Chains A and B, each alone.
Chain A
Amino acid sequence: MRIDPAWIVNNLDRIGALTVEHVYLTVLAVVIGFAISFALTVLVRARPGLYEPILGVTGTMYAIPSLALFALLTPITGVGTVLTAEIALVSYTLLILTRNMVEGLRGVPADVLEAAAGMGYTSLQRLVRVELPLALPVVIAGLRIATVSTVALVTVTALTGLGGLGYLIINLGVQRGSFGATPALTGLVLCVVLAVAADLLLLGLQRALTPWARRRAST
């Protein structure tokens, strides 16, 4: 296996564009997944009985092999469309995000909830001002897992004609044998860098949003 620095230099524009596409596909999937999961979580908060069925459905989606899902979707939603990619990518975030949000809310101490009710919070005020802020560490933990795994999963969408850095790894890499070593490795390294950067960004966000979680009695 030989690394060819010249290839990298000659293809910087293309690599940059693919990286942007990769970030775009990831962010879109996580944002949509988060919105759907949030809606499901509010539903579960009002009707706890729905939690098990929702876990069942999202769990099943999570278990479908990604290649099979793309194969199933392509005839319906088209080759190389963002829609095809996102349906799959979003599906894989739902289990992790919904579960962490619901568990985050359930982890809010009962005495805090009772005090909030006793002091005259409406149900919505309680959700927004008390339950969600307290659930935040668990919610962001879920976001981190979902984001990192989406970064990895985006590469597979290269098989449908999109794929961001996956294009480097699969189309220019794996499929071209030993000639593809440089693009494949470039794509791989950038994927890892993206995943680590996203993870650190979210961790920083969590720290910034939950100053209370790090302060403990010093006396």
Chain B
Amino acid sequence: MAGEHKHPNYMAIFWMLAILTVAELIVVFLPFGKFVNGTLLCGLAVGKAALVAMYFMHLKFETRTLGLIAITPLTIATLLVFVILPDSLYVDHKTQNVKPAASAPAKP
């Protein structure tokens, strides 16, 4: 019956999640700059989410088709990011905080 479900070692997963959370808090203060820190943080978050989904939600022990159902929203979200992000290329960050040069001719 359903009760015979294989139970993974939940406490081991808990400690891994706790350690990854502490790691995230440490990464915030690392001096590697926004890009490296951001990549590290995203990687840690995805790792934690995968642990929760695979072991707590038993996705690792489910059928392949159920896994496909779970992956569908991730695919949609990833596509959406690639739809939205190119927009940011059209914003000229550098001009935002720069005052017009004094020598620039005044507009008529």
Q: Are the chains A and B members of one assembly?
A: no
List chain A positions with a Cβ less than 8 A from chain B: none
